[in-house]
Amino acid sequence: MGLGISLSEEKVEKKDEDPMLYMIGNEDIADEIDPQQLDDLLNTFINSLEKQPSLQSVLKENKPVLTDGFKIEFKLYTEAQEKDLLAHGEALLMKLRTTLNNYQLKIATTIIQTQVFNAAGPNDKYLKMVEQNPNLKKLKEQLNLEIEF
């Protein structure tokens, strides 16, 4: 005759109630990560950042990726964005670890070096824009536009 509660149910409750306490002794648990589930969790996190539009925008543009099997790499443009992300880091990491049942997950950040283009004038700006998007030149020609420099 049972006592009405199983050890597995108790373990699940501890996991949900206090992920940090649950993790003690379970640090080696590393279930295989379902890419779709990871993507869904990251999208939910990114969408929750509506009060931080700069961070939300950069994370939508540069989706976090899983590297080395356990590192989730976030690519950012500024140290301020990195600071904002890391303010959410512990809660995000606990959510990812407990939901994916992989306690070896880590968050890594990389600051992307952006290139600064100094144009000598409007013509240089136009040529650089055409270089990045050749359709701009086609549009100019189709609309028979003249660009004043």
Domain boundaries defined on the chain:
7-111, 115-149
CA distance 58 to 64: 10
| pTM (two decimals) | 0.62
- pLDDT, one tens digit per residue, over 29-43 is 788 899 999 999 999
- pLDDT, one tens digit per residue, over 46-103 is 999 999 998 999 999 999 999 988 999 999 999 999 999 999 999 999 999 989 999 8
